[in-house]
Amino acid sequence: MTKAEKARAIQRILSKLYPKPAPPLEHRDAYTLLIAVLLSAQCTDKRVNLVTPKLFAAADNPGDMAQLHPDDIRAIIKPCGLSPRKSKAISQLSKILIEKYDGQVPRTLEELEALPGVGHKTASVVVSQAFGIPAFPVDTHIHRLAYRWALSSGKNVVQTEKDLKRVFPENTWNDVHIQIILFGREYCPARGHNPLACPICSKYGRKGLKPS
C-alpha cells in the first residue's frame, strides 16, 4: 500500500467519524479566530475557550482591542500562559490591522505571518478556517499522528506539513487537519495510547508501534 492509498483509507475513517468537523476554537469571525489561535500556543483549546468570552466581551475587534492597555489584556488571558508576550502581541497586531489593513484580517499567509505573535501554524489556521483557503496547519496532535501512521518521517512540523500535503488531496486539507486533531484527542492520545485499540493505528500504524 502506497502512502497515498493509506491516506485515502485513513481519510475514509476520519470522514465517517467526523463528517462535518467543526473548528475546536470558538470564534465569531477572522479576527476573533486569530486571537484565539494566538492564545492557544502552549495552551489547551478548552482553556482558550474559557478565556476568550471574557476577552471578547471587553474587545472583539481591532479598534476596541487597540484601546485596551496590554496589562488589561494580560490580566484576562493570564490562564492561557505566556500572558506578557501574548498580551503585547495582541495589542500590537490590533493596531497594525487598523493602520495597515483598515481593521480587517489579511487573507495571505505572508501578511499574517508578518504580524506580531503570528507564526506559520497560526496563519494557516486562519486562512483555512476563516477564509476557506486550502492549508494544512500542523500542531502537536497532527505531527504525532502523521508519524504513528507512517505518513511522515516525523523529523519536524515543516516536513510533516509537506508530507501530508503530498498524500491528501488539496480540497480535503481544511477538513482533514481538524479531523486528525479530533481523532487524536479521542482515540490516539500522546499518553496511554493502545495501538491495538485505535481504529487507525491498529490497521495502518507504523510497524513496531508500542503502547505509550
Mean pLDDT, all residues of the chain: 95
Quick check: is 121 catalytic? yes
Q: Which of 45, 86, 121, 163 is catalytic?
A: 121
pLDDT of residue 154: 76
Quick check: is 45 catalytic? no
Q: 35 with 7, same domain?
A: no
Which conformational region is residue 93 in: left (phi greater than 0), alpha (psi within -120 to 50 degrees), or beta? Answer: alpha
Q: 46 with 124, same domain?
A: yes
pLDDT of residue 13: 97
Tens digit of each residue's pLDDT (9 = 90 or more) over 96-152: 999 999 999 999 999 999 999 999 999 999 999 999 999 999 988 899 999 999 999
56 in a domain, yes or no?
A: yes
15 in a domain, yes or no?
A: yes
The overall longest dimension of the chain from CA atoms, in Å, is 56
* Burial of residue 84 (number of CB atoms within 10 Å: 0-12, 13-18, 19+): exposed
Q: Are 136 and 161 in contact (CB under 8 A)?
A: yes
pLDDT of residue 183: 96
Q: Find the domain containing 179 and state its range.
A: 3-21+136-204
Tens digit of each residue's pLDDT (9 = 90 or more) over 51-107: 999 999 999 999 999 999 999 999 999 999 999 999 999 999 999 999 999 999 999
Q: 98 with 16, same domain?
A: no
Q: 123 with 83, same domain?
A: yes
Model pTM? 0.92
Of the three residues 96, 131, 166, the one that is the final residue of a domain is 131
Q: 36 with 84, same domain?
A: yes
Residue 208 pLDDT more than 80?
Answer: no
pLDDT of residue 136: 97
Q: Which of 45, 60, 86, 139 is catalytic?
A: 139
Of the three residues 69, 96, 131, the one that is the final residue of a domain is 131
Domain with residue 37: its CATH number is: 1.10.340.30
pLDDT of residue 169: 96
- For the chain, how many structural domains are there in total? 2
